[in-house]
Amino acid sequence: MDSTNSRRVFIKNAAVLGCGALVAPGDLVHGLTVTAGATRELDLVIEGGMVFDGSGKAPFAADVGITGKQIAAIGNLKDTKARVRIDAQGLAVAPGFIDSHAHTNLIRNPKAQSKIFQGVTLDITGPDGGSPFPRPVEKGDSKKAPQSTSEFSNYSHWVDSYKDTPIAMNLGSLVGFGTIREMVLGSSSRKPTKD
C-alpha cells in the first residue's frame, strides 16, 4: 500500500476511534462487554489492542466494536461479524485526545493531519488572549452590512465560515480578552475608560 493510501486509511480509522471521546469513560467498560459469538454485525472491530478507557485505570487487552459513530461493544469479539476489522496487536486503543491549548486554523488546514496522526479529535483554540471571534463585520458581508465600526461578528458567524469547509476534527474556541480589547481600543496601549 502506498503512503498516500496508508495515510487516508489511518485518518479514517483515527476519526472513527475519536468517536470514543463521545462516551463517558466509565461507560466504556460497564454494560458494553459482548460475549463471543454475538449475532449482530458491527461496522468495525479493532482487534487485540490495549484499551485505555480514559478513566485512569490500568489498560486491558480487548477488542472494540463500533456501530455508526458509537462504541457498541468491548470484549472478545473474535466471532462477532464485522464489515471491517483492524488488527491493533501491540498498539494502544483510546478515546480521542483533547488539545486544550491549540492555535488552530482549520480553514487553512481542514485535514488537520498533524493532530489526527497524534490521536487529537478536539481542539480548543483561542488561548493566550487571542481568539477567532469576535471580529469586525467586513463590508460586503453576505449576511449583513455593518452599521458602524463597532459591529462585531458572533459565534454563529464564525461557525458559518466552516460550513463550506468540512474539517477533520471537532473544534471549540475561547473568547480572548485580547481580541475583545483590540475590538474596543484598537492597538493603543492606553488604559481603557469606563465607557
- From the list 105, 107, 99, 154, the residue with the least C-alpha distance to 124 is 99
- Whether residues 103 and 169 fall in one domain: yes
Domain count of the chain? 2
- Whether residues 82 and 47 fall in one domain: yes
Residue 192 lies in a domain: no
- Whether residues 110 and 75 fall in one domain: no
Q: Which ranges in the chain belong to alpha helices (H)?
A: 3-18, 113-116, 155-160, 177-185
Residue 27 lies in a domain: yes
- Whether residues 32 and 75 fall in one domain: yes
- Whether residues 89 and 102 fall in one domain: no
Pairing relationship of beta strands 42-51 and 60-67 according to DSSP bridges: antiparallel
39-43, 55-59, 60-64, 148-152: least confident range: 148-152
- Whether residues 114 and 149 fall in one domain: yes
Which of 48, 70, 93 is the last residue in one of the domains?
93
- Whether residues 148 and 176 fall in one domain: yes
**pLDDT grade, residue 137 (50/70/90)?**
low
Residue 148 lies in a domain: yes
Residue 116: give the domain boundaries.
97-185
Give me the CATH number covering residue 87: 2.30.40.10
- Whether residues 73 and 115 fall in one domain: no
- Whether residues 129 and 70 fall in one domain: no
Q: What integer pLDDT is reported at residue 16 of this predicted model?
A: 46
- For the segment 16-30, what is each residue's pLDDT rounded down to a tens digit? 444 443 333 333 443
Residue 87 C-alpha cell reads as 488488527
Residue 19 lies in a domain: yes
Pairing relationship of beta strands 92-93 and 170-173 according to DSSP bridges: unpaired
Q: DSSP letter at 54?
A: S
- Whether residues 81 and 9 fall in one domain: yes
Which of 76, 93, 110 is the last residue in one of the domains?
93
Global pTM reads 0.60
Which of 31, 58, 93 is the last residue in one of the domains?
93
- Whether residues 20 and 67 fall in one domain: yes
Q: Is residue 5 helix, strand or coil?
A: helix
Residue 31 lies in a domain: yes
Q: DSSP letter at 90?
A: T
Residue 146 C-alpha cell reads as 455593518
3-state DSSP percent of the chain in helix, strand and coil, to 5: 20, 25, 55
Number of neighbours of residue 172 by Cβ within 10 angstroms: 13
Q: What integer pLDDT is reported at residue 8 of this predicted model?
A: 53
- Whether residues 129 and 61 fall in one domain: no
- For the segment 44-97, what is each residue's pLDDT rounded down to a tens digit? 999 999 999 888 899 999 999 999 989 999 999 999 999 999 999 999 999 899
- From the list 33, 24, 90, 32, the residue with the least C-alpha distance to 54 is 24
Q: What integer pLDDT is reported at residue 136 of this predicted model?
A: 64
**pLDDT grade, residue 122 (50/70/90)?**
very high
CA distances from 162 to 58, 61, 133 (A): 39, 39, 13
Pairing relationship of beta strands 170-173 and 60-67 according to DSSP bridges: unpaired
More reliable by pLDDT, 163 or 72: 72
